[in-house]
Amino acid sequence: MQVSHVIAGSIAVLVGYAGSAAIIFQASAAAGASPAQAASWMLALGLGCAFSSVYLSLRHRIPVLTAWSTPGAALLAVSLPGIPLAEATAAFLLCGALLVLTGLTPWFARLIRRVPDALANAMLAGVLFQFGLSVFTSLQLAPAVVAPMALSYIAARRWAPRMAIPLVLIVGLLVTISRGQFPDFSAIPLTMAQPLFVMPEVNLSVLLGVGLPLFLVTMSSQNLPGIAVLRAAGYEPPVASALKVTGGATLVLAPFGGFAFNLAAITAAICANEEAGADPKSRFWAPVVSGVAYAILALFGTTVIGFFLAAPTAFVAALAGLALLPVIASSLTGAMAAPQSREAALVTFLTTVSGISFFGVAAPVWGLLFGGLILVLRKPT
């Protein structure tokens, strides 16, 4: 193991937490989780990433970094209000089962790939739309806090894109602390998180409206880009193995808040490129370092949640929204790229943004159905 492995692995975890911890906090709050249950979510998510990253990297000797599904967390934040946590847990289990099934059965993976990329991207963009919008609504409510965060994001995206979100986090902290808007850090508990089990309850409408979109978003926006990152770095991704391991981790940890695990994309690039080590055959140590760091931070999930409970609302909303802007941009680009599917993608996007619900089925599913219907009707005969 080299110093470059330690640095790359540590930066990957920093970027992962800075970019999505706020979104996970919002998702757990939407599910009605108590602070202790939210801390259990952070514990389960961190331990799941730790185990799967270390296991897959050591087994295949390539830099396989896993992550929780950040777009999935965003989906949950807008889909879970009013849904009991027990029913949401059953939806997490469905997502895990579908991930395992995808890894076990090639025909199922081919079936999922039949969902048009344009519609999957449009659905994701619709799910994340409110988070991007929150940057600007927060700017109006708290310009003194959000404006410096936004400016630091723009500058970092120009000169140091990988460090954009950590820099936004640091700037936001400095501004809120200087303005006296952050309470004393000593009031945030430095205690170990405890796993809290939630017995799942099956509700078919929740399974279809939350569990299925969670799976589709995780596959389309996380696993597929994660595979592309590894291939671009010169590695052959162990797709079936990764799906079975991350899906299995989801099944085991879902009752404790581990809603979905997948191949990492943005943070995986940090561990897979030349900055993680001159020798490509040794870079698998970087995700191993990340796994150890994830495990350590997971144990202090109570502290992480305490931090976001103490943080000003505008700070949390801006941090989450800025972290998701690149994903929103790439999703919209993918949705509108092909002229023949542009109208169907627009219908999917608008339906998802609308938040409509019929028969207990949430807007993302209706977006896919309406968009798919447009594609079928417009297809030349």
pLDDT score for 165: 72
3-state secondary structure of 142: coil
pLDDT in tens, 112-157: 566 777 887 787 788 778 778 888 998 988 898 899 999 999 998 8
362: confidence class by pLDDT, cuts 50, 70, 90:
low
Place of tokens 């940057």: 135
122 vs 362: CA distance, rounded Å: 15
Q: Say whether pLDDT at 360 is over 60.
A: no
Least confident of 29-43, 49-63, 263-277: 263-277
- How many helices (H) and strands (E) are present in the chain, helices listed first? 18, 2
Q: Say whether pLDDT at 275 is over 90.
A: no
The mean pLDDT of 155-183, rounded to a whole number, is 81
3-state secondary structure of 237: coil
pLDDT score for 157: 85
Which one has a higher pLDDT value, 309 or 158?
158
Q: In this structure, what is the dihedral angle of CA atoms 244, 246, 248, 252, given to the nearest 10 degrees? A: 180
Average pLDDT, whole number, for the chain? 83
CA angle 341, 346, 349 (to 5 degrees): 125
Q: Which ranges of the chain does DSSP label H, i.e. alpha helix?
A: 3-30, 35-60, 70-79, 85-104, 106-113, 117-141, 143-159, 164-178, 204-206, 212-218, 224-232, 239-253, 266-272, 285-299, 301-310, 313-336, 342-354, 363-378
pLDDT score for 299: 84
- The three-state DSSP-derived secondary structure of 48-69 is HHHHHHHHHHHHHCCCCCEEEC
- Percent of the chain, pLDDT > 90? 25
pLDDT score for 305: 63
CA angle 306, 215, 316 (to 5 degrees): 25
pLDDT score for 161: 78
pLDDT score for 99: 92
Least confident of 17-21, 37-41, 317-321: 17-21
Q: Say whether pLDDT at 361 is over 70.
A: no
Q: State which of 71-80, 233-242, 345-354 shows the largest mean pLDDT.
A: 345-354
- Going 7 to 12 to 18 to 22, the CA torsion angle's sign is negative
Q: Say whether pLDDT at 313 is over 80.
A: no
pLDDT score for 243: 92
pLDDT score for 141: 87
- Percent of the chain, pLDDT > 70? 86
pLDDT in tens, 52-110: 999 999 999 999 999 988 888 888 888 888 889 999 999 999 999 999 998 888 765 56
The CA–CA distances, whole Å, from 322 to 40, 131, 263 equal 25, 8, 22
252 vs 41: CA distance, rounded Å: 13
177: confidence class by pLDDT, cuts 50, 70, 90:
confident
118 vs 106: CA distance, rounded Å: 22
pLDDT score for 42: 87
In 196-316, where do the E strands start and end? Answer: 261-263
31 vs 197: CA distance, rounded Å: 15
Amino acid residing at 315: F
Give the chain's length. Answer: 381
